[in-house]
Amino acid sequence: MKQILLNPGPVTLSQRVRDALQGQDLCHREIEFSNLQRKIRQKILAAYALDNKTWASILLTGSGTAAVEAMLVSCVPPSGKILIVENGVYGERMTKIAIAHNIDHEKLSTGWDQVISLKKLDKALDGSRYSHVAIVHHETTTGRLNDIAAISEVCRKHGARVLMDGVSSFGGESIDFEKWELDACAATANKCLHGVPGTAFVVARRVLFQTTHPAKSVYLDLAQYLVKQDLGETPFTQSVQCFYAFDEAMNEFLEEGGWQARHQLFSSRMSKVQKKLLSFGIKPLIELSESSCVLNTFQLPLGKVYQHLHDELKSLGFIIYAGQGHFSTKVFRLSLMGAISENDMNRLLEALTKTLR
Ligand SMILES: *Cc1c(COP(=O)(O)O)cnc(C)c1O
């Protein structure tokens, strides 16, 4: 049976993206690879209408975490200090990265189901001890879409630059790179952009790399990637087949109407699922007005064990996703990215009825 992935990446692939994996074998030192890489880099910037003079997209072989780690390692100078804002697993992961690389940092933690308090942020940044604030846009732990517009205003007031984990929002949510004055945003091919896992990227301001610092990582040094990629080269072997698939996924993404179209698509799918679940008394964990269109977390119905719900839905062809940490016995998560047809959606609604009745 065809399995539809309702986990927040990797996603169910379209036939067109899957077929692209069959592209010819390619040496990463040949002009064909260089052209492929250049096209993908342009399409990533086109996704948010970013100017190539100010912004660079930098391609990495790795999962989303590689991009987040590369961003933190490469965009904070040795004299810098980051305030890491946490309200879920992915914010906490950035703190782990800072610790692993000995990056000067403090954290501002909020409960996983809580809104980030602008007041607390303002207070924490007071005295301008921080050069940067690192924050997750869409906290996939809960589905909360953090209000980066408001948060970035507080950061600006204190002269702190924003580094954003946009791994599960890039391509599906509005990201105002200029207005939010982002320094960099880390993302991946295999979530809202519908590519295959294996390629991740960082969109960063070119100016960040105009002064050079000793690299804190060999593999994740964005400065080195940028120099090479601007020359049409790559410092290391890239996942060539994943690049083919990513290029095709970007064609599909741009043809379909970019992030706005995807936002609308994900939202309309999600509202159908919300309605169905609500008819069984199953409520979302956080306010819908504070949720992303990409993923929602729902309270498990009374007397229903996650594993049973998961297994029943799996037997009907749908893979749902567990909560993390202390949420694991209380909630389940549903993401509606990927190549999901009308028919798949109807089957999903039927499957939910069958398992929840
Ligand atoms: C998926 C995700 C990541 C990266 O996870 P990987 O397993 O490394 O791809 C990072 N941040 C957020 C918010 C995510 O949703």
How many other CB atoms are there within 10 angstroms of residue 1's CB atom?
8
Atom of ligand 1 nearest to the CA of 188: 9
Q: Whose Cα sits closest to atom 2 in ligand 1?
A: 167
Q: Are residues 289 and 342 in the same domain?
A: yes
Q: Report the nearest atom of ligand 1 relative to the CA of 65.
A: 8
Q: Is 140 in the pocket of ligand 1 (CB under 6 A)?
A: yes
- CA proximity to 139, closest of 167, 162, 178: 167
Place of tokens 């946009």: 166
274 and 330 co-located in one domain:
yes
Q: Are 214 and 271 within one domain?
A: no
* Residue ranges making up the domain that contains 202: 20-255
Q: What is the pLDDT of residue 208?
A: 97
Report CA(354)–ligand 1 centroid distance (Å).
31
Task: Give me the tens of pLDDT residue by residue for the chain, a chain 357 residues long.
Answer: 889 999 999 999 999 999 999 999 999 999 999 999 999 999 999 999 999 999 999 999 999 999 999 999 999 999 999 999 999 999 999 999 999 999 999 999 999 989 999 999 999 999 878 999 999 999 999 999 999 999 999 999 999 999 999 999 999 999 999 999 999 999 999 999 999 999 999 999 999 999 888 999 999 999 999 999 999 999 999 999 999 999 999 999 999 999 999 999 999 999 999 999 999 999 999 999 999 999 999 999 888 899 999 999 999 999 999 999 988 889 999 999 999 999 999 999 999 999 998
Q: Does the CB atom of residue 188 touch ligand 1 within 6 A?
A: yes
| Spacing of C-alpha 344 from chain mean position | 24
For the domain that residue 351 is a member of, what is the CATH number?
3.90.1150.10
- Domains: count for the chain: 2
Q: Is ligand 1 within 6 A of the CB of residue 87? A: no
- Based on its alpha-carbon atoms, the radius of gyration of the chain, rounded to whole angstroms, reads 20
Do 262 and 244 lie in one domain? The reply is no
Compute the distance between CA of residue 344 and CA of residue 30 in angstroms, rounded to an integer.
41
Question: Among 255, 271, 290, which residue terminates a domain?
Answer: 255
The DSSP line for 167-185 is TTTTTTS---TTTTTEEEE
Half-sphere exposure in the Cβ direction for 244 (13 Å, CA): 16
- Domain end: 228, 255, 282, which one? 255
295-299 β-sheet, strand order: 295-299, 331-335, 321-322
Picking from 185, 199, 97, 102, the residue whose alpha carbon sits closest to that of residue 136 is 185
Q: Any idea which residue has 């010819």 for tokens?
A: 24
Residue 42 neighbours by CB under 8 Å, 6+ apart: 52
Q: DSSP secondary-structure letter at 59?
A: E
Of 61, 63, 175, best ligand 1 pocket probe by most atoms within 8 Å of the beta carbon: 63
Q: Measured from the CB, is residue 190 less than 6 Å from ligand 1?
A: no
- Check pocket membership of 8 for ligand 1, CB cut-off 6 A: yes
Contact 334, 271 (CB under 8 A): no
Q: Is residue 14 part of a domain?
A: no
Using the mean position of ligand 1's atoms as its centre, give its distance from the Cα of residue 65 in Å. Answer: 6
- For residue 150, is it within any domain? yes
Structural tokens at position 285: 């964990």
Rounded to 5 degrees, what angle do the CA atoms 55, 58, 64 make? 120
The confidence score (pLDDT) of residue 212 equals: 87
- The three-class DSSP label of residue 25 is coil
Compute the distance from residue 1 Cα to the ligand 1 centre, in Å. Answer: 27
Nearest CA to ligand 1 atom 4: 64
Q: Cβ(134) to ligand 1 under 6 A?
A: no
- Whether omega before 10 lies within 30 degrees of 0, making that bond cis, reads yes
Q: What is the reported pTM?
A: 0.97
Q: What is the pLDDT of residue 128?
A: 73
